[in-house]
Structure 1
Amino acid sequence: MDIEPKERQSVLVLAGDADEAAGVADALSGVDASSTPVGDAAPQALGDDLAAADAVVVLDREAVAALSGREGSFRVVALVDDPAAEPATAPVVDAIATGAADLDATLRWLEARSESGLGRDEPARTPSRIEQLNAEVTRLASVRTVEEAYRTAIAVADEVFPRYPCVVGVREGEWVEPIAASADVSIGDCDRVRVGRGSVGTAVDTGEPAVEPRTAEAVPYRTLLALPVGGDTVLQLATDEDGFDADDRRLAGLFASHVEETLDRIRADEALRTERDHLLALFSNVPDPAIAYDYVDGEPIVHRVNDAFEETFGYDADRVVGESVDDYIVPPTEEAESEAAELNERLQRGENVRREVTRETAEGLKHFILHVVPIRLDAENVAGYAIYTDVTERREHEAALERQNERLDEFASIVSHDLRNPLGVAQGYVDLATETDETAHLEKTAEALGRMDELVGDLLSLARQGESVGETEPVSLEALARDAWESVDTGDAELVLETDVTIDANATRTRELLENVFRNSVEHGSTGSRAEPDDSVEHGSTGSRTESGDSVEHGSTGSRAEPDDSVEHGQRPGEECDGPLTVRVGAAAFRGDDGESRHGFFVEDDGCGLPESEHDRVFDSGFTTEENGTGLGLAITKRIADAHGWEVRALAGDAGGARFEFKTT
C-alpha cells in the first residue's frame, strides 16, 4: 500500500534578531514553523531544534555562522533581498528565496526533493514525475547567471525527461542559435533555425509552444517540441516517436514555466545590480552633498554619505551613519524643525520632494535645493536618496540685485521729485529776472541751484556705498572720530571721546560714516540759531556746503531754531533745546538675541532727541522732517554700516538727545 505523506514539515527560522526571526516564522503557511535567535540559543538547545527540523531558513550571517560544523538531514534556505549578497552565497545554503511567497514554494520543492514529506520510519515510495520535477527545479533557485540557468535547465530536463534530448536556443537577429544541449547531443550537430521557420523558429516568433513532425529519413528525431521561455529563448525536446503525449506536454509546459521564471529573476536581478551600481557610482561622484537614508521610528537615519557631504557639512561618515541627519544639519530653530518634520511626513508617504531649505554647514548657514528621491514612489516608503545643491551664491546674487533695484528706485524718486522742484524754482526765477530785468531774482536762483548741488552730492555719496567695504584693518575709533570731527563744521559743539577702542573696519568709509552722524547731530542739535524753513538742515554729504542764508551747519551760537524747524531728532513745535551741544563717542557692549555678548561703539548727543516713533525710520532714504532736507545723510550711514556687516540702531540718549549704536561683533 502507498505510504501517506505527513501533513506538515517542520521549519526552523534562524536570525540574529529575535523579532525578525519570529516575524518570518509567523508568516509561513502550511508548515510547522518556529524561530530561534542564534545569539540567545544555547548550543545544546540549538542542536535539538536543528535535529527536529526538516528545513532551516537563515536570514543573516549570524544564522549561517550558527550552522557551522552542524550536520543533519535538514535543507537550508536563505531568505534575502539580494541573491548576490550574504547569506545567500554561503556554501551551506541549498536554495534561495527572495520573498514570502517564494519562500513557501521553495520549502515545498525542498520537501519533495529531500523526501521530507514521507514518514521517516516508513519505506519511501517512488515520487511521481510532477514531484520529481518540483524537486529538480529547486536547482534553478540558486543559479546566478543566464548561462548557468541554461546549463541547469538542461540537467533538469535530462533527469525529468531522460528519453527526450533537450536543446536551448537563443534568438540572435533573425536566427535562433543553439546554446546548450544534453550530454548525448553535440552542439555542432545542431542547426540554427531562421525565426518563423519550423517549431523552434515559430515558438520564438509567436511566443507559443510549437510541435513539428519530421518525416525525412535522415533526421534522427521524428518529433520536436519547442517551448518559448521568454522573448528570445526556447527549449526544444526531441523524440524518435510519433509525438508527445498529453502528460509529457503538460509536464514540459510546467518545466518551461520554471525556466522562464528563473530567467526573468536573473535578468531582473542583473538589472537591479546594474542600476544599483550606477546609483552607487552616481552617489559617490555627484558633486553635490548626498545621503542614502532609511526611516526608523519616523527619523531619517543616514545609511551612507558621499565625499561632498563630508566636506560641505563637516561630518565624517563614521560620525553620522546610523544617526538622524536632522540632528546634525537642520538649524535649531522652531521654523526649521517644523519644516523638517513636514518633509519627513511627506517622504514616508513616498512623495518625491524638491524644495529650497536652509541647512547648517561647516561654514555656517547656507541655502540648498533639497531633492529627495524615495526608492518607491506613491507607496509607503522607508528609504531613499537626498541630494543638497548649494544655491547660496545664487540667493545672495538675487538679494544683491533686489537691493540694487531698490536703490535705483530711490534714485529715480529723488531725481524725479527732489531735483525737479529746485530746478523748477530756478527756472521760474530766471524767467522773472528775464521779464523784469531784476537781478534780485537770480539770488533765489542761486539758492535753488545750491540745493540741487547738495542733492547731487548726496546722491553720489549714496551711490558709492557698495555691498562690501573690501579690505578692512584694525583702526582706532578715537583717531577716526577726531579726523571726522575736524572735517565737519561743528561751530561751538564739543566732541568728547570717552573710551578708545580698536575696530576692524575700512578707515576711509568709517570716517565718512562718523562725519555724517556728526553733521546730523550738529545740524539738528547745535547751539546756534535754527535755520529758517528754506535753509538746508539735514544734508548728509561729506563735502563743504554752499554758504547761503542762515545755515546752521557751522555750529554758530545763538537761539535754537524756530518751532517749525523740527528735524530728524524730533524737536516739536514750542520746544527749546538751549545750551551748548556735546557729542560723545565711545565703546559699547550689547547683549545679542542669543544671549551672547556683542561689542561696538556709539555716538550720542544731548540735543533735541528723536521721537520714539521715528527710531526705525531715520535711516530710510529720503526720510526727513525738514522741508528742504534730503533725507540721505543717515541713509548713507546705514549703507556704510551694512557694508561692514554691522548693525546700527537709533534710540534716545541718556541726556535726551539722539544716540546711534553700531554693533560691530
Structure 2
Amino acid sequence: MNTAADTIRVLHVDDDPAFAEMVATFLERESDAFAVETATDAAEGRARICEGGIDCVVSDYDMPGRNGIEFLRAVRAERSDLPFVLFTGKGSEEIASEAITAGVTDYLQKGSGTDQYSLLANRIRNAVDQVRAERERERMRERMELALAETDSIIYEIDLESGAISRHGAVESFYPVDTDRIPTRDDFTEHVVHPDDRDRFEAFFERIGTAENGLDTIDYRTNPETGTVRWLRGHAYHDGDDRIIGLVQDVTDRKERQRAIERHNERLEEFTSVVSHDLRNPLNVARGRLELAREGEDPEHFEAVERAHDRMEALIIDLLTLAREGETSAALTDVALDDLIEACWENVETAAATLALEPDGRTEVRLRADERRLRRLLENLVRNSVEHGGEAVTVRVGGLPDGDGFYVEDDGPGIPPDRREDAFSAGYSTNPDGTGFGLSIVQGIVETHGWEIRVVEGDGGGARFEVTGVELVAG
C-alpha cells in the first residue's frame, strides 16, 4: 500500500481524450503509485497545475492553442523544477532541440506497441525520484545550516586529490580568517592551526586519508595570530573514496571546565599531603616541646612551640588561599602595575631589599586583571625574592619587550635550570622556614587569568619570572 508521500500524481495533457485515458490506464497498471489526471489542452493543464499537487506533466506536442513547447515554457516560468515529459507522435530533431532549450525533463516519441507505456512509466518515475531527492537534499541542507547556527559547528568536506575544502556553518566564529585564504587543507593548517599543533594535525589527516572508512577525532588549538586561542574538536570520516567529511566544534569552554576540575583535584591532593605530612611535623614538635616544658622551666621550649604554631598558621593560610584559588572567575579591571607593586612592597617584610621599576623608575604597564589576585601574586613573588635572594636583594619589575606581559626579577642566586619546573610545585621550597606554597599560589592565579608564567635566569643571574598572555591597556 502506497502512502501519500509515495504517490506520483501525473497530469497527462493531450487533445485526444481517449488516448489520454488509455495512457492513464496503462500507467496505473504499471504501478499503483501512479495517480493520473488528464487535460485536453495547455490552458486546462496550466489551470490544474496552479491548483497544486502535480508531481509530473506528460504533454503532447501538437495541440490546439498552445503547442507542447509553448506549454512547457509557461510551466517553466512558474515551476522550474516540475518534471515535464514531452510525449509526442510528431518527432524531429528540431522539436527535440527546442524542447531541451525550453527546459524539458525528458522527450519520448509515441510508438505503436504497449511497451512504450512501461518506458514512459520508468521515465516519469526517474524524473520524479530525482526531483524529490534534490528537494530532500535541499531540506537537509536547510536543517543542517539551522542546526549549525544553533550549535556553532562547522560541517566540512576535503577532496583528497586536490586538498580543496568546502564548509557549511559559522566559520567566522571559529577563526576570523578570510576563507579565500584557506581554500585547501594545507592553507588551513598554515593559517588556522596553532604552530605547536600542526605536526599532530597533519599526521591525523594523513592517517584518516589512508584508512578505509576511517573515523577519528582530534583536539587542536587555533593560531594565536588570528586572535584569542580557541580549542577546536574535529571529527573526520573517510568515506572510502577520495573524500573526508567531518564536523568541527568549539570546545574551549569544555576544556576550561576540565582544566578547572583538574586544578581542583590537584589542590585536594596537595591539601591531603600537607595535612598528613607538613602540618603533622610542627604538631609533633609542639607536642614534644610541651612535654619537655612540663619537666622543666626552660623558656626555649615555649619559644619552639610558638615557632611551630607560627609555621602551622602560615601553612593554613597558604593552604586556604590555594584551595580557594580558581573557585570564582576573575573580576577584571584596569590595573596600573606601578601603583600596585609599590603598595605590595609596603605589605611585605623587605628588610634592606630594593625595588626598581624599569625603565626609568616607571613600568607604565596597565593591564586587565583581578586586582586582589594580582596583588597576592606580586606579594608572593616579592616575598620569594627576599626570602631566597637575601635581605639586600634588588627586585626589578617591568614590562616585557614584546608587550605580552610583565616580569619580576631579582639579583639573588637564582633557580638552577633542572629545578625550575619544580619551583611551582606545592610544598617545594629551598628555605627551611618557607611553606613551599607561595609559587604554587602564583601559578594558580596565573591560570585563573588565562595567563602563562615561566622562570628563567635574569640579567644578574637571579630568578626572573615572566608572566605572558596578559591583556594590556593603552594609556
- Tell me if both proteins adopt one fold, taking TM over 0.5 as the criterion: yes
1:616 aligns with 2:421: yes
Contact kept? 1:170, 1:179, Cα under 8 Å: no
- 1:631 aligned to which of 422, 431, 436: 436
Letter in 2 for 1:494: T
**Separation in 2, partners of 1:602, 1:492:** 18
Contact kept? 1:170, 1:178, Cα under 8 Å: no
Structure 1 residue 618, shift from structure 2 partner: 1.9
Contact kept? 1:469, 1:506, Cα under 8 Å: yes
State the percentage of identical aligned residues: 30
| CA pair 272-178 structure 1, distance change in 2 beyond 3 A | closer
Which deviations, in whole Å up to 9, do the C-alpha atoms of 1:101-151 show, x marking residues without a partner?
A: xxxxxxxxxxxxxxxxxxxxxxxxxxxxxxxxxxxxxxxxxxxx9444x84
Letter in 1 for 2:393: T
Which deviations, in whole Å up to 9, do the C-alpha atoms of 1:225-273 show, x marking residues without a partner?
A: xxxxxxxxxxxxxxxxxxxxxxxxxx75x55653553354245324412
**Separation in 2, partners of 1:326, 1:497:** 46
Contact kept? 2:12, 2:36, Cα under 8 Å: no
Name the Cα RMSD after superposition.
Answer: 4.3
Query: 1:275 corresponds to which residue?
Result: 136
Query: 1:582 corresponds to which residue?
Result: 393
Query: 1:227 corresponds to which residue?
Result: none
- Give secondary structure in 2 for the equivalent of 1:519: helix
**Separation in 2, partners of 1:425, 1:415:** 15
- Give secondary structure in 1 for the equivalent of 2:193: coil
**Separation in 1, partners of 2:290, 2:314:** 20
- 1:398 aligned to which of 258, 262, 265: 258
Structure 1 residue 345, shift from structure 2 partner: 7.0
Letter in 1 for 2:28: G
Query: 1:284 corresponds to which residue?
Result: 145
Which deviations, in whole Å up to 9, do the C-alpha atoms of 1:587-609 show, x marking residues without a partner?
A: 2544xxxxx6645233313x444
- 2:28 aligned to which of 161, 164, 169: 169
| CA pair 639-405 structure 1, distance change in 2 beyond 3 A | same
Query: 2:73 corresponds to which residue?
Result: none
Query: 2:389 corresponds to which residue?
Result: 525
Which deviations, in whole Å up to 9, do the C-alpha atoms of 1:307-328 show, x marking residues without a partner?
A: x2344444677x479x336524
**Separation in 2, partners of 1:623, 1:165:** 91
- 1:367 aligned to which of 231, 242, 245: 231
**Separation in 2, partners of 1:365, 1:449:** 46
- 1:475 aligned to which of 336, 340, 343: 336
Structure (1/2) with the larger helix percentage? 2
**Separation in 2, partners of 1:446, 1:271:** 87
Contact kept? 1:487, 1:515, Cα under 8 Å: yes
Query: 2:213 corresponds to which residue?
Result: 351
- 1:601 aligned to which of 407, 417, 424: 407
Contact kept? 1:372, 1:386, Cα under 8 Å: yes
Contact kept? 1:602, 1:660, Cα under 8 Å: yes
Which deviations, in whole Å up to 9, do the C-alpha atoms of 1:460-505 show, x marking residues without a partner?
A: 233343375421314142x333322222223333334453113314
**Separation in 2, partners of 1:367, 1:272:** 37
| CA pair 416-151 structure 1, distance change in 2 beyond 3 A | same
- Residue pairs, 1:18-167, within 5 angstroms: 146-148=8-10, 151=12, 166-167=25-26
Letter in 2 for 1:585: R
Contact kept? 2:385, 2:395, Cα under 8 Å: no
**Separation in 2, partners of 1:176, 1:494:** 94
Query: 2:198 corresponds to which residue?
Result: 336
Consecutive unaligned residues in structure 1, runs of 5 or more: 1-144, 184-250, 528-580, 591-595
Letter in 2 for 1:471: L
| CA pair 260-439 structure 1, distance change in 2 beyond 3 A | farther
Larger Rg: 1
| CA pair 169-652 structure 1, distance change in 2 beyond 3 A | closer
Letter in 1 for 2:318: D
| CA pair 299-631 structure 1, distance change in 2 beyond 3 A | same
- Residue pairs, 1:378-397, within 5 angstroms: 378=240, 380-382=241-243, 386-397=246-257
- 1:463 aligned to which of 323, 326, 338: 323
Contact kept? 2:197, 2:221, Cα under 8 Å: no
Structure 1 residue 352, shift from structure 2 partner: 6.0
Letter in 2 for 1:631: G
- Give secondary structure in 2 for the equivalent of 1:622: coil
Letter in 1 for 2:419: E
* Greater alpha carbon shift after TM alignment, 496-505 vs 630-639: 496-505
Query: 2:306 corresponds to which residue?
Result: 446
* Greater alpha carbon shift after TM alignment, 415-424 vs 268-277: 268-277
Structure 1 residue 449, shift from structure 2 partner: 2.0
**Separation in 2, partners of 1:416, 1:146:** 79
**Separation in 2, partners of 1:459, 1:270:** 69
Query: 2:352 corresponds to which residue?
Result: 492
Query: 1:33 corresponds to which residue?
Result: none
Structure 1 residue 281, shift from structure 2 partner: 1.2
Contact kept? 2:409, 2:458, Cα under 8 Å: no
- Give secondary structure in 2 for the equivalent of 1:502: coil
| CA pair 258-341 structure 1, distance change in 2 beyond 3 A | farther
Query: 1:203 corresponds to which residue?
Result: none
Structure 1 residue 416, shift from structure 2 partner: 1.3
**Separation in 2, partners of 1:489, 1:178:** 96
Structure 1 residue 452, shift from structure 2 partner: 1.0
**Separation in 2, partners of 1:414, 1:429:** 21
Contact kept? 2:405, 2:466, Cα under 8 Å: no
- 1:300 aligned to which of 150, 157, 164: 164
Consecutive unaligned residues in structure 2, runs of 5 or more: 1-6, 41-112
Which deviations, in whole Å up to 9, do the C-alpha atoms of 1:149-169 show, x marking residues without a partner?
A: x849999x969xx9x995443
Structure 1 residue 625, shift from structure 2 partner: 2.6
Structure 1 residue 423, shift from structure 2 partner: 1.6
Query: 2:363 corresponds to which residue?
Result: 501
Letter in 2 for 1:602: V
| CA pair 386-519 structure 1, distance change in 2 beyond 3 A | closer
Paired residues in the alignment total 377
- Give secondary structure in 2 for the equivalent of 1:365: coil
Structure 1 residue 442, shift from structure 2 partner: 4.3
**Separation in 1, partners of 2:455, 2:25:** 95
**Separation in 2, partners of 1:516, 1:305:** 49
Letter in 2 for 1:305: H
1:261 aligns with 2:122: yes
Contact kept? 1:652, 1:659, Cα under 8 Å: yes
Structure 1 residue 630, shift from structure 2 partner: 1.5
**Separation in 1, partners of 2:352, 2:194:** 53
**Separation in 2, partners of 1:651, 1:334:** 21
**Separation in 1, partners of 2:13, 2:8:** 10
**Separation in 1, partners of 2:158, 2:467:** 48
Structure 1 residue 415, shift from structure 2 partner: 1.4
Contact kept? 2:423, 2:429, Cα under 8 Å: yes
Contact kept? 1:359, 1:367, Cα under 8 Å: yes
Which deviations, in whole Å up to 9, do the C-alpha atoms of 1:645-665 show, x marking residues without a partner?
A: 444333444444444344456
Structure 1 residue 403, shift from structure 2 partner: 1.4
- Give secondary structure in 1 for the equivalent of 2:395: strand
Structure 1 residue 347, shift from structure 2 partner: 5.6
| CA pair 508-315 structure 1, distance change in 2 beyond 3 A | closer
Q: When the two structures are superposed, what TM-score results if normalisation uses the length of structure 1?
A: 0.48
